[in-house]
Amino acid sequence: MLNETIEKLLVYANAHLGLDEEDNTYTRNILMDLCNVSEPFFDEMNISAIRGLKVPDILIQELRSNLLLENVCDPSNVDRFIVKIMGTLTPRPSEVTAKFKVLQREKRAKATDYLYDLQIKNNYIQKSAVDRNLHWVTDFDKNNLEITINLSKPEKDNKDIARAKHEDLKDSKYPACVLCKENVGYAGRSDHPARGNLRTIPLKLDTEAWHLQYSPYVYYNKHCIVFEDVHEPMIISKRTMARLFNFVDIFPHFFIGSNADLPIVGGSILNHEHFQGGEYEFPMMKAENLVEIPVDDEELEVHILDWYNSTIHLSGTNKERIIDAMAKILNAWKIYENKQLNIIPATADIPHSTITPIVKRDGRVYHAYMILRNNRTDENYPDGIFHAHPEYHPIKKEGIGLIEAMGMFILPARLKRQLGEIANIYKEELVLGEVLQDHPDLEIFGELFTFLEEENANEETVEELITTYVNNVCREILKNTAVFKDDEEGSAAFLQFINEVKI
Ligand SMILES: [Zn+2]
């Protein structure tokens, strides 16, 4: 019965969400009203089991089935309803901020840990679903990549899309986007997630108002999003660098980076200025320096990184000096032209060249990475010259944002099923033509089928071969994004470009 579930949720919130027992009667009454329950539950419960829970899954499951069983809400609404209930059990935003600030004064990692744990415990981050994602590391000789197939990013169903269309006709300009601060507590609609259980922390970056929150999809440990207070488009400039450095001074245990500010080479949200950070060391950060660039300054080191795309690594203890150097490189890159290498910085007044900047701290030493990007398209590559080439689109066709550019691939959920079905063909000796009839969406994998044939794939080897193929494709995609290719001409041009910048 729902009244028992409500009682369990109160015990859970007392133990895990910081709900003061003094507020139990008040919160119980709100939940009873929300769930159309008239009598509370007073019998015995296994309280210690609830107190021992690491994630709320078992209670969420019970809540979901009772909400449906007792017809409190429609199946299409039940997820949003659960968010509303978990939001009601979570402390108010100002209380979360107050606790975060107290912990921050004690030890900064304690504050970021607190918010992360709260967001797992209140089901905003669905940790068990995240843990079911596939994750592996390649076995190259050097510069290994991390590959994940993300199953927790929800796919919209057709009913939702249809409803969204209807609601659009009414009004759906609020919140302006999924990053806006107005999402905190928002009930959601079919085309916009419910965020009743989201909590964000206000920050000051370079004297401006920003906010910190965690990503619900957790691509890596403590995957956070830092977004500007106002809904304004992304622009990479010297100001961006100042903000990034400001962030790692506040949270030195986190890296921070920005997606590029242009389509194709940027992230999926360009209309709201934001960064992504977290407590994680990416493959790119482990890469060796390849070439030292002479700089007339003992406080600053500049290298070309031994990495798949075109990355400049700056390090030193003087952050103003690094910010200044980055701004100079950025400005030079924005107008750099090399038709031989297909690098053209703009078409009329539409810019193509930008960067993906990333900053981290190692004690007193700052490390900054500038990945040079260009989003131009042409007849041969209508999706982008320095983007994943068409033969790799069955594996990944979305923009290669900063997480991938740093060597962690987030591949779409469909691949788990598709690659599994392809493996089955060899395991169960099925006839390819028949399988394709049943699963026409496998037709795009012609290149993979050719590879498996060439390698004489059998039931024993097919899975490993598919992994090898995916690994190689991801590496090739990163090479596609390199503006200066790893050949004589490309390397020489890269060196000449950086040497000509008056760092
Ligand atoms: Zn926004």
Tell me the pLDDT tens digit for each residue of 2-31: 999 999 999 999 999 999 999 999 999 999
In this structure, is residue 40 part of a structural domain? yes
**In which band, very low, low, confident or very high, does the pLDDT at 172 lie, cut at 50, 70 and 90?**
low
- With 50 as the cut, is the pLDDT of residue 53 above it? yes
Residue 228 CA, ligand 1 centroid: distance in Å:
8
| Of residues 311, 313, 287, the one with CA closest to residue 300 | 313
| Of residues 309, 124, 287, the one with CA closest to residue 214 | 124
Residue type, 279: E
In this structure, is residue 108 part of a structural domain? no
* Mean confidence (pLDDT) of the chain: 95
Pair 361, 270 in one domain: yes
The whole-number pLDDT of residue 50 equals 97
Q: How many domains does the chain have?
A: 3
Pair 429, 495 in one domain: no
Mean pLDDT of all residues in 453-477: 97
The whole-number pLDDT of residue 159 equals 55
Residue 178 CA, ligand 1 centroid: distance in Å:
6
Residue 211 CA, ligand 1 centroid: distance in Å:
12
Residue 176 CA, ligand 1 centroid: distance in Å:
5
pLDDT digits (tens, 9 = 90+) for 261-304: 999 998 888 999 999 999 999 999 999 999 999 999 999 999 99
Residue 465 structural domain:
414-481
Pair 4, 82 in one domain: yes
Pair 70, 195 in one domain: no
**Distance between CA atoms of 120 and 305, rounded to whole angstroms?**
36
Mean pLDDT of all residues in 376-392: 96
Residue 286 CA, ligand 1 centroid: distance in Å:
33
- With 60 as the cut, is the pLDDT of residue 452 above it? yes
Mean pLDDT of all residues in 391-418: 94
Residue 187 CA, ligand 1 centroid: distance in Å:
16
Pair 178, 282 in one domain: yes
The whole-number pLDDT of residue 160 equals 53
pLDDT digits (tens, 9 = 90+) for 95-132: 999 999 999 999 999 999 999 999 999 999 999 999 99
**In which band, very low, low, confident or very high, does the pLDDT at 162 lie, cut at 50, 70 and 90?**
low
Residues 6+ apart with CB under 8 A from 167: 189, 190, 191
Residue 384 CA, ligand 1 centroid: distance in Å:
26
Residue 274 CA, ligand 1 centroid: distance in Å:
9
Residue 180 CA, ligand 1 centroid: distance in Å:
4
Place of tokens 């290669």: 400
Residue 230 CA, ligand 1 centroid: distance in Å:
7
The whole-number pLDDT of residue 220 equals 96
| Of residues 263, 245, 249, 309, the one with CA closest to residue 283 | 309
Of 89, 124, 153, the one marking the end of a domain is 89
**Distance between CA atoms of 494 and 302, rounded to whole angstroms?**
13
- With 80 as the cut, is the pLDDT of residue 202 above it? yes
- With 80 as the cut, is the pLDDT of residue 173 above it? yes
In this structure, is residue 427 part of a structural domain? yes
Residue 17 CA, ligand 1 centroid: distance in Å:
28
In this structure, is residue 380 part of a structural domain? yes
Residue 96 CA, ligand 1 centroid: distance in Å:
22
- With 60 as the cut, is the pLDDT of residue 157 above it? no
* pTM exceeds cut of 0.85: yes
Which position has the higher pLDDT, 190 or 234?
234
CATH number at 281 reads 3.30.428
Residue 389 CA, ligand 1 centroid: distance in Å:
31
Pair 363, 457 in one domain: no
**In which band, very low, low, confident or very high, does the pLDDT at 155 lie, cut at 50, 70 and 90?**
very low
Rounded to 5°, angle at Cα 246 from 243 and 249: 155
- Count how many residues are written for the chain: 503
Mean pLDDT of all residues in 223-229: 98
- With 50 as the cut, is the pLDDT of residue 169 above it? no
Alpha helices (H) in 346-461, listed in sequence order: 402-405, 414-427, 432-438, 446-454
Residue 288 CA, ligand 1 centroid: distance in Å:
37
Residue 33 CA, ligand 1 centroid: distance in Å:
32
Residue 191 CA, ligand 1 centroid: distance in Å:
15
Residue 270 CA, ligand 1 centroid: distance in Å:
9
Pair 328, 189 in one domain: yes
- Return the HEC string of 170-238: HCCCCCCCCCCHHHCCCCCECCECCCCCCCCEEEEECCEEEEEEECCCCCCCCCEEEEECCCCCCCCCH
In this structure, is residue 74 part of a structural domain? yes
**In which band, very low, low, confident or very high, does the pLDDT at 168 lie, cut at 50, 70 and 90?**
very low
